[in-house]
């Protein structure tokens, strides 16, 4: 099995349950890890034989542009798009961190992790 990962992809987006969050926006960090068994010889040195991390970044970019109330929904959207693009993947972990969430005290980030296959 091969794992491909992006760590700390940074976005400014407008997710949040409260209207103020959707208006003001916030900084987010996205981590994506995808595990797969290569469909062809990896030694062929061809991008088509692997998961392209640039495409993972583009998928995250597209999903972060769609304002949602819950970062869980954003994470699930990223996961679903990865499965659609790479149906041969065996595992996916998407973590989204909301940096400095608007709470009554100082918090580095809130986060959600969505995994495939689901443990449920």
Peptide bond into 117 cis (omega under 30): yes
DSSP assignment string, 10-73: EEEE---SSHHHHHH-EEEEEEEEEEE--SS-GGG--GGGS--HHHHHHHHHHHHTS--S-HHH
d(CA 114, CA 12): 20
**Can you read off the two tokens belonging to residue 75?**
């994470």
- Active site members: 98
């Amino acid at each position: 099995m091969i794992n491909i990962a992006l760590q700390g992809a940074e976005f400014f987006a407008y997710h949040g349950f409260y209207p103020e969050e959707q208006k003001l926006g916030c900084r987010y960090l996205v981590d994506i890890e995808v595990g797969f068994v290569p469909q062809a010889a990896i030694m062929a040195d061809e991008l088509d034989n692997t998961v392209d991390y640039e495409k993972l970044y583009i998928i995250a970019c597209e999903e972060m542009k769609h304002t949602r109330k819950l970062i869980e929904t954003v994470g699930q959207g990223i996961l679903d798009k990865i499965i659609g693009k790479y149906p041969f993947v065996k595992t996916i972990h998407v973590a989204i961190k909301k940096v400095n969430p608007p709470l009554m005290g100082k918090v580095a980030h809130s986060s959600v992790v969505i995994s495939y296959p689901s443990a449920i």
